[in-house]
Amino acid sequence: MLTNICFTVLLSISYVSQAQAFIEGLYCGKENCYDVLGVTRESSKGEISKAYRQLAKKYHPDVHRTQEAKDKAAEKFTLLATAYEILRDDESRKDYNDMLDDPDAIYRHYY
């Protein structure tokens, strides 16, 4: 009985860890794509584009002088570009919103 409980707990921990790792590899990773761009789910395409352009100018690697600053900016710029690509397209934005609403649903089509 105790062995079954321990096994169940370990199995559920393993599943949650794998699920979390899988989700972190999608979209904007651990961050919310809306937060990355500083917009809300209700924002229009125009507002999303405007936010992206403003942040892209700020974080473009060519704007920074030192290599360390360029590297940090490149990381942020890549994240911004990913968020923008997801949120500017209606279909990918809908898929992303669905994932935010129900993260476990992403696994349902695998079984």
In three-state secondary structure terms, 39 is coil
DSSP H stretches of helix in the chain: 2-24, 33-37, 45-59, 67-88, 90-101
| Cα–Cα distance for residue pair 80/70, rounded to 1 Å | 15
- For 89, which DSSP code? S
pTM of the predicted protein model? 0.72
Concatenate the DSSP letters of all residues of 11-22 into one string: HHHHHHHHHHHH
pLDDT score of 86: 96
Q: Please, are residues 70 and 64 in contact by the beta-carbon 8 Å criterion?
A: yes
pLDDT score of 38: 98
> What's at 49, amino acid-wise?
S
pLDDT score of 8: 44
pLDDT score of 108: 61
All structural domains of the chain with their residue ranges: 2-105
Fold type of domain 2-105? Helix Hairpins (1.10.287)
pLDDT score of 19: 44
| Cα–Cα distance for residue pair 8/6, rounded to 1 Å | 5
Walking along the chain (111 residues) 10 residues at a time, the average pLDDT comes out as: 46 42 69 96 97 97 95 96 97 92 70 52
pLDDT score of 26: 76
